[in-house]
Amino acid sequence: MRQIILDTETTGLNPRTGDRIIEIGCVELLNRRLTGNNLHFYVNPERDSDPGALAVHGLTTEFLSDKPKFAEVANEILDFIAGADLIIHNAPFDIGFLDAELGLLGKPGLLKHCGEVIDTLVQAKQMFPGKRNSLDALCDRFGISNAHRTLHGALLDSELLAEVYLAMTRGQESLVIDMSSATETAGEVSTPRVKFDTLSLPVIAASVDELSAHEALLDGLDKAVKGTSVWRTQPMPAEDFAETTQNT
Is the pLDDT at 240 greater than 80? The verdict is no
Convert the pLDDT of each residue in 118-140 to its tens digit. Answer: 999 999 999 999 999 999 999 99
Q: What is the pLDDT of residue 138?
A: 95
| Confidence band for 182, pLDDT divided at 50, 70 and 90 | very low
Please give the Cα distance from 145 to 159 (Å, whole number): 11
Spatial CB neighbours of 222, under 8 Å, sequence gap ≥ 6: 228, 229, 232
> Which position among 57, 89, 113, 152 bears the catalytic label?
152
Is the pLDDT at 92 greater than 90? The verdict is yes
Q: What is the pLDDT of residue 176?
A: 35
Burial class (CB in 10 A: 0-12, 13-18, 19+), 143: exposed
**DSSP state, residue 179:** -
Q: What is the pLDDT of residue 192?
A: 53
Is the pLDDT at 110 greater than 70? The verdict is yes
For each of the domains in the chain, give its residue range(s) and CATH number, in order of start: 2-190 (3.30.420.10), 208-246 (no CATH)
Percent of all residues in the chain with a pLDDT value above 90, rounded to a whole number: 64
The tally of CA atoms less than 13 A away on the side-chain side of residue 182 is 15
| Confidence band for 180, pLDDT divided at 50, 70 and 90 | very low
| Confidence band for 20, pLDDT divided at 50, 70 and 90 | very high
Is residue 89 among the annotated active site residues? no
Q: Report pTM.
A: 0.68
Q: What is the pLDDT of residue 207?
A: 85
Higher pLDDT, 204 or 39: 39
Residue-by-residue DSSP string for 14-77: -GGGT--EEEEEEEEEETTEE-S--EEEE---SSPPPHHHHHHH---HHHHTTSPPHHHHHHHH
Please report, for residues 196, 212, 220, 238, the alpha-carbon distance to residue 216 in angstroms, rounded to integers and kept in the order given.
Answer: 37, 6, 6, 17
Q: What is the pLDDT of residue 199?
A: 59
